[in-house]
Amino acid sequence: MSGTRLRTGGMLLAVLAAGVALVVWAIFAPREAAAGWLIGFLFWSQIPVGSLVLSMIHTLTGGRWGFVLRPVLAPATAAVPWLFIAAVPVFIAVPALYPWVQHASAVKPDVAAHYLNTPFFIGRSLIALAVWSALSLLMRRAEWPGGLLTAGVGLLLYGVTISSVAIDWFLSLEPPFVSSSFGASVGIMQLVTAMAWAALLCPEAESDPAVGDIGGLLLAFVLGITYVDFMAYLVIWYGDLPHESFWFVSREPLPWSALAGAWFVFGSVIPILVLLLARVRTSRSALRLVGLSVLVGSLLYTVWLVAPAFGAAALVPTLLAVVAIGAVQTLLVTSPWFARRRREASAHGY
């Protein structure tokens, strides 16, 4: 009990210290502070949303892996509604974050009038968060009679909403860059991050054959994001279209090229190479280390996607926001209510 209190106290202290530092930063550099919060929000939101998608996939397909991971996936899925609160600073800072607010000429007039404007941006975001939150509540009991239908319709709704928010939250930071595969990339990255989180925290099950399934799924997701992103880069770069290739050119200088290299190593190279080994895929302790590596890679990837639009000055507030939001989210999923969700999951054979 004292250990739990100590961890809770440490996280509260981290929230307070990082939050105060971020507020002070916002006084002197509000745009960079807002960018830091956006990056922190985008990174940490991947865990609850990705856990929701994994839960829906498991409801449809079955498999022992979902039962083993349920004590981690269930509380993370239940935390989806908290994203409404975490998104509030992003909505407030829309004019500072997105160039199409202050400079409508950054996009085509009909796009600015009917799509990329503040009310519609916030409205689409709220709809996506509301859909995900409703699904998280419905998926609390995956075994109820309508569970299969809910999961099937939910995955369809997720496919539509993730395509919308991927464009809004990420790509509209640097118009006119567009990518038809970007929604898929963000969706797969959410699965990667949630699976890595689950692999890091799921209960000990060294002798359970499902451990190998978890390692295999993590390998498949990492291969998926690596393939999709490489093909997008290949098509856009060798297409040599200035209105698209500028997005990659702006990420060639330091520190962005270093971030890309580190993301590739931690998020792709290390996980792929080690997960090809059966003894790693079936080792609980090894999967924890792989999960940690993938989480680091996911964070670096999110920073690489967003921060270049704001410059290197956004990196420090990004670190502060990642600590603050991460500590709050961890406190939430370890609260008594979420602990009860874990016990319910275990009681139902999960």
Q: What is the secondary structure of 281-300 as a DSSP string?
A: HT-HHHHHHHHHHHHHHHHH
Q: Provide CB contacts within 8 A for 235, sequence distance 6+.
A: none
Query: Hey, how many other C-beta atoms are within 10 angstroms of the C-beta on 107?
Result: 18
Is 203 or 269 the better-scoring residue by pLDDT? Answer: 269
- Which of 4-13, 243-252, 269-278 comes out lowest in average pLDDT? 4-13
Query: Hey, how many other C-beta atoms are within 10 angstroms of the C-beta on 83?
Result: 21
Instruction: Label residue 344 by pLDDT band (50, 70, 90).
Output: low
Spell out where 227-324 has E strands: none
- Which of 168-182, 199-213, 308-322 comes out lowest in average pLDDT? 199-213
Answering whether pTM is above 0.85, one says yes
pLDDT tops 60 at residue 1: no
The residue range of the domain holding 272 is 2-347
Q: Where are the alpha helices (DSSP H) in 29-140?
A: 30-61, 64-78, 83-86, 88-92, 94-97, 99-102, 109-114, 118-138
State the average pLDDT over residues 154-181.
Answer: 92
Amino acid present at 146: G
- Residue 234: HSE in the Cβ half-sphere, 13 Å Cα cutoff: 6
What's the domain count of the chain? 1
pLDDT tens column, 137-151: 998 765 556 688 899
Tokens describing residue 158: 């997720």
